[in-house]
Amino acid sequence: MATEILWRTPGKMTQLEQRSLELLVEEVSDEFVPPLTTLSSTTQAVLASASGSASSSYFDEMLMQHCLLLIECGKLQGFLSFRSFHRDVRLSQIGICIYVSTISVRPAARGRGLARLLYQKLLGLPKTLPTWILLRTRSTNTHHLQLLDTLGFKHLLTVPNDRDPGIDSIYLGRKR
């Protein structure tokens, strides 16, 4: 099966790529806590009890970030969006970093190492980008946490009950 990962810089996706990405974001939205369609920003600080429909502003913000698009046989199967020169006030000791805002693989394509391929592509991007990679995930996302551990990401911070009661945000990072 032919697999390729395309790196799209901010604002440089084709209309077909944008539409494919939008459909995939809608497909996986409810797997996130809170759902992507309720967020107004890819770096939204307050995550708990988000409600309503802000999917267009979330998606519009994603389009203004770098995005890795994983294509198999002409179909978008996964993506990883990131900010290239981000500074997180909660982890100021890291300084400027790459911030992974969203990663997902189409449910039907999971279990084949595609998320790992996306992270490996991110790790191999040009050295002109920041050295540190930072991301946050929910404490209940055990598969993602296991993958990040195998890729050398280290726990940096836990924000208790940040997503919902009993669901923490976990910040992880590593140098490239």
Tens-place pLDDT, residues 5-43: 999 999 999 999 999 999 999 999 989 887 887 776 666
Percent of the chain with pLDDT over 90: 78
Work out the pLDDT band at 53, boundaries 50, 70, 90: very low
Own/partner contacts of 61-66, CB < 8 Å, gap of 24 or more, are 62/21, 62/25, 62/101, 62/102, 63/10, 63/11, 63/13, 63/18, 64/10, 64/11, 65/10, 65/101, 66/7, 66/8, 66/9, 66/10
What is the domain count for the chain? 1
| pTM of the complete model | 0.90
pLDDT(51) > 80: no
Domain range holding 67?
A: 3-175
Average pLDDT score over residue span 80-95: 96
In this prediction, residue 139 carries a pLDDT of 96
CATH code of the domain covering residue 113: 3.40.630.30
